[in-house]
Structure 1
């Protein structure tokens, strides 16, 4: 920013030097150059204003509407000033056209300052509601100004040299500089907050236009200082057009190119609208439905062909990433995170859960006598059968640890029958394990331990990497009971067994569990 400030100050420094050294402020009268320079600058500004106006219309944004009016007002009056060039369109100079530029810049300064305000929802709605009226009023003013200028109604019936009206032009410059200065400060804040090129470019343009007003007030006609303010205006509009073009190249959308200046409320609405559009495309992809009806619906709601193409590409990428990473997270947890992203924050809540621990008894010995690839193949065969059994009962698989799995019931959502769910899942898991072991003699078999009670459920880790966990005495107890079970057997804590009504269990009495001072009443699930 310091370097940018120096660059923006250079034109004003050059103006001061020319005014202090009149000999350096050379006279150069070349009417065709003046005509085409001003006309092309006005054309650039019209393009810019129309692009901002189109973005404002599509997104319904009040700030973009006011920015477009700032550019269109200065462009319109600048074009009138081009007509003042003698011998190009008119035979002689025209006073009304001569003084059109400072009038347009002052009106533009008013719109610039208004656009820099943080508009309330009601005021933003009023700007949008009266947007057509504002544009129509500006066009009417331009037409009236042109007619009055051409008819040379007094006091526009005699030549007006800038040197003869320093006081009036200086007053216009002071008011315009105040308005442009206010807008510059607010747009720089917007740039720092959003880190987008366009607000910075617009802030620089406001500075150049303010400097142009100063030059208009102080320069001598057809001298270098006079030509300087023409170049300042050209640079201002080209700079903003370039920034908008960069945004367009990045997003392939006029509306997105002006996203850096939209009001916060507009961006929130755009985010919601885009999220809804992406969700519709992703749902169609997930259900293998044709995409064209979805895209046609989006185009009917104002999306351009380029925007729908970007949305489709984004949706396909999101779907690919989701397919890639979703298997690493329990489906119930993934669905909850999708609905409420805030659940991913570090921390947890206390819940009553039922924890199921299961491992393959004899896996260590099996892996010692088999190649690693065989051991992994065996594990995957078991998990292919066991995981659907667990998920069918709504389990949240907390982790896999080699040949062991920890599943938690009632960790996500509301499962008041979590003990019954866990017991049914254990029964199905042990049954699948037995069938697979019978087909592969020598393979180890699952055993399981279940416990019910309080646990802290949530995310642990760091901002860079975290995992979902259930922590507490209940999880430790389930792990201890699993170690007591025989292959094909599930040992239940009394806290789980007492919550079962129609599941047969056999009492095993009480056992001493490492880490607990009191004996634990245990049961075995009848399978």
Structure 2
């Protein structure tokens, strides 16, 4: 299919000029539920990004088949944890997955999903990798990061015809993604004060000990945000 410069110009101009038809969403939409032309869904949602760390080094160290197994193990664990806590998967980006949570318990569900991912990494994936590589000259221990934020979001559709996907626009998805990419963290899960302030006691304490490290003011893009972190885990 050939595309002329006039066609591209016309289509881009249409996007800029077309008025939006935006609805308040009650569920996390699928791609087909959002009009590609000018539709949008507005949500109050919690975003979780789970990101496998050091995947480039992993790919350089091991054969592609082993690297693929490690990535699949991590993404499988993350997807299961997100779905188990009523989250919705709407995006994969290589070794990273995004989950969206809605409803009055969305912040607690997202944090519990993250704690379950930590459990899977610490108690399932890494022990199995250690066993699998015990006769190898090299070892590999999987590490990862999870970022979580909450807020108003506009979900629209981007792309063309059959090659389109949902785009989440707002502070929450942007900040959650940035937090999942920060490697020098005191914990593997980092959440914003918007999430922490709505957690129940079960998700703030492990027994009588605090789950989260002291608040840190962090510059995330143009935003100065109070964040909390933990390396704790919880079995599903």
2:169 to 467, 471, 485: 471
Gapped runs of 5+ residues in structure 1? 1-331
Post-superposition offset of 1:526:
5.7
2:180 to 482, 493, 498: 482
Is residue 111 of structure 2 the alignment partner of residue 423 of structure 1? yes
1:345 to 35, 41, 66: 35
Could you tell me how far apart the structure 1 residues matched to 2:55 and 2:198 are?
Answer: 32
Is residue 129 of structure 2 the alignment partner of residue 437 of structure 1? no
Assess, with a 3 A threshold, how the Cα gap between structure 1 residues 429 and 487 changes in structure 2: closer, same or farther: farther
Task: Tell me if the contact between 1:492 and 1:522 (Cα under 8 Å) persists in the aligned partners.
Answer: yes
Matched residue, 1:521: 226
Task: Tell me if the contact between 1:481 and 1:493 (Cα under 8 Å) persists in the aligned partners.
Answer: no
Deviations 1:114-165 (A, max 9, x none): xxxxxxxxxxxxxxxxxxxxxxxxxxxxxxxxxxxxxxxxxxxxxxxxxxxx
Post-superposition offset of 1:519:
2.0
1:496 to 195, 214, 217: 195
Could you tell me how far apart the structure 2 residues matched to 1:460 and 1:396 are?
Answer: 19
Report the 3-state secondary structure (helix = DSSP H, G, I; strand = E; otherwise coil) of the residue aligned with 2:76: helix
Task: Tell me if the contact between 1:446 and 1:487 (Cα under 8 Å) persists in the aligned partners.
Answer: no
Assess, with a 3 A threshold, how the Cα gap between structure 1 residues 474 and 389 changes in structure 2: closer, same or farther: same
Matched residue, 2:209: none
Could you tell me how far apart the structure 1 residues matched to 2:180 and 2:76 are?
Answer: 21
Report the 3-state secondary structure (helix = DSSP H, G, I; strand = E; otherwise coil) of the residue aligned with 2:65: helix
User: TM-score, structure 2 length as denominator?
Assistant: 0.70
Post-superposition offset of 1:429:
0.9
Q: Which protein has the bigger helix share?
A: 1
Could you tell me how far apart the structure 2 residues matched to 1:462 and 1:343 are?
Answer: 15
Report the 3-state secondary structure (helix = DSSP H, G, I; strand = E; otherwise coil) of the residue aligned with 1:379: helix
Deviations 1:296-325 (A, max 9, x none): xxxxxxxxxxxxxxxxxxxxxxxxxxxxxx
Report the 3-state secondary structure (helix = DSSP H, G, I; strand = E; otherwise coil) of the residue aligned with 1:507: coil
User: TM-score, structure 1 length as denominator?
Assistant: 0.33
Q: Matched residue pairs, number?
A: 185
Assess, with a 3 A threshold, how the Cα gap between structure 1 residues 481 and 428 changes in structure 2: closer, same or farther: same
Q: Which segments of structure 1 move beyond 3 Å, counting only runs of 4 or more?
A: 485-488
Matched residue, 2:135: none
Assess, with a 3 A threshold, how the Cα gap between structure 1 residues 345 and 389 changes in structure 2: closer, same or farther: same
Task: Tell me if the contact between 2:218 and 2:227 (Cα under 8 Å) persists in the aligned partners.
Answer: yes
Could you tell me how far apart the structure 1 residues matched to 2:167 and 2:77 are?
Answer: 23
Is residue 70 of structure 2 the alignment partner of residue 378 of structure 1? yes
Report the 3-state secondary structure (helix = DSSP H, G, I; strand = E; otherwise coil) of the residue aligned with 2:66: helix
Matched residue, 1:99: none
Assess, with a 3 A threshold, how the Cα gap between structure 1 residues 386 and 396 changes in structure 2: closer, same or farther: same
Task: Tell me if the contact between 1:491 and 1:523 (Cα under 8 Å) persists in the aligned partners.
Answer: yes
Post-superposition offset of 1:370:
1.0
Aligned CA RMSD, in angstroms, stands at: 2.3
Task: Tell me if the contact between 1:354 and 1:409 (Cα under 8 Å) persists in the aligned partners.
Answer: yes
Report the 3-state secondary structure (helix = DSSP H, G, I; strand = E; otherwise coil) of the residue aligned with 1:376: helix
Gapped runs of 5+ residues in structure 2? 1-26, 131-139, 205-211
1:362 to 54, 68, 72: 54
Post-superposition offset of 1:342:
7.0
Post-superposition offset of 1:500:
0.8
Deviations 1:384-437 (A, max 9, x none): 322111111121112111111111112xxxx22111111011110111011211
2:216 to 505, 509, 518: 509
Q: Which protein has the bigger strand share?
A: 2
Task: Tell me if the contact between 1:450 and 1:492 (Cα under 8 Å) persists in the aligned partners.
Answer: yes
